Amino acid sequence: MNETFMKDRPVLPLVLSMSLPMVLSMLVNSLYNIVDSFFVAQISEDAMTALSLVYPVQNLITAVGVGFGIGINAVIAFHLGAGEKDKADRAASQGMLLSLVHGVGLTLLCILGLPAFLGAFTQSPSVLALGVAYGQVAFAFTLIIVLGLTFEKTFQAVGRMKATMASLLAGCVTNIVLDPLLIFGLGPFPQLGITGAALATGLGQSLTLGIYLVLYHFRPIPVTIARRDMAPTRTMVRRLYAIGVPATLNLALPSVLVSALNGILATFSQGYVLVLGIYYKLQTFLYLPANGFVQGMRPLVGYNYGAGEIRRVRQISRVVLGMSGLILAAGTVVCQAIPAQLMGLFTVNPETVAMGAVALRVISLGFVVSAVSVTLSGALEGLGKGLPSLAISLCRYLVVILPVAWGLSRTIGPTGVWHAFWITEVVAAVVAWAVYRRALRSPAPQRETPASPPPAP
């Protein structure tokens, strides 16, 4: 497969061809998140609260898998754009080995640390028991999740978006089908309750990894994952982590944010904790499809950056910014029009529905402007500039929102936490634009030569 199409085709058709398969996959993935929560909510409100409390730990696993995968993606795309296939092979091979190590470590950490983590946010024996039951099964599949995400980013780096789409769709559809069967014990299936939801998720993710392995074997991609290239080299490992660690932190920061906001909201009522959990389930239906465009963009900007096509990098980023903005604008309209109906999908408690409707209307004020920071942060990761991307995420998830949320909650109550979201998005958009413009003016990493290997960025 000739990857030069990434710098030869017109920008708009190129972005659409790379992104639409991922947008479709993310739509189905977000639908799964909502359907999964809908079925869990039928068990009890305590079950839904438990799911909300486990979410930050699940997000941590995804953050490590996706974040380090972004490092692999960016390095592969850069070296392919620079015509250095042997370096791309080493990036893929060493990245896979390191992902295996990450998966094993995360499995032990999450399973052993889950009871203590949940105990920090709830005193309810029912919620604690449900959270542990769900998490122990879900986290048993951690290694499978991490390896699947590594294959996903490797396939995306070479432009195989349809293969990624097929793998993700198969896993998500499997999750959706198995959820009610295993939760409620329909037909020959056992009634497993909240544990069934976790098992359905793990089986779906196992299928996704299986499809990647089959595709890699029977339809080889332009980079090779080989044992001979897996021996870690200092230059390559530094390069992978230089991008992967900031990207991981970018994705892990929402877990820190949710946990901190849960602590603030719990001082008012456990109902607000549930509202926050429901919001994060609903917002995936917007931000995951927007992220589909970002995923399609990353290998394009990485390849063109490696090829020295800075003008195309800017064009690609502008197109993706427009597409993401349209998706988030549609989400704003829906959240303003029918917030109570959306909350009603997950709880029948009138008080919780009313609190959630207020939250959705206020938080959604920042959706459109958030497209700036989401898109430009993704573009910076594609360029291999992990630290500037991390600076944007720190504004969105830590530096601005937490003090604003705490301060406003003390002056106007829990509604102040919801206002902190849109205030933060405005500040983050300004920071993102400034950081992105500055990053593009800095030079690209030097291409490697046999005589003089490049310094790590």
Question: CA 323 to CA 16: how far, in whole Å?
Answer: 10
Closest CA to 347 of 129, 57, 51: 51
Contact 18, 71 (CB under 8 A): no
- Taking each helix axis as running N to C, give the angle between helix 310-337 and helix 11-43, from 0 to 180 degrees, rounded to the nearest 10: 40
Question: CA 305 to CA 386: how far, in whole Å?
Answer: 14
Q: How confident is the model at residue 128, as a pLDDT?
A: 93
Question: CA 221 to CA 440: how far, in whole Å?
Answer: 30
Q: How confident is the model at residue 2, as a pLDDT?
A: 54
Question: CA 272 to CA 294: how far, in whole Å?
Answer: 31
E strands within 253-341?
none
Q: How confident is the model at residue 158, as a pLDDT?
A: 87
129, two tokens: 């028991």
* Cα angle 350-351-356, degrees, rounded to a multiple of 5: 95
- Taking each helix axis as running N to C, give the angle between helix 45-81 and helix 125-139, from 0 to 180 degrees, rounded to the nearest 10: 30
Q: How confident is the model at residue 445, as a pLDDT?
A: 54
Q: How confident is the model at residue 191, as a pLDDT?
A: 93
Please give the chain's pLDDT, 457 residues, in tens.
455 777 778 888 888 888 888 788 777 777 776 777 888 888 888 898 888 888 888 888 988 998 899 899 889 988 888 888 999 999 999 999 999 999 999 999 999 999 999 988 888 899 999 999 999 999 999 999 999 999 999 998 888 888 988 998 899 889 989 999 999 999 899 999 999 999 999 999 999 999 999 999 998 888 999 999 999 999 999 999 988 888 888 878 887 888 899 889 988 988 898 899 889 888 888 888 888 898 889 888 888 888 888 888 899 999 999 999 999 999 999 999 999 999 988 888 899 999 999 999 999 999 999 999 999 998 998 887 878 888 898 999 999 999 999 999 999 999 999 999 999 999 999 999 999 988 877 655 554 443 333 333 3
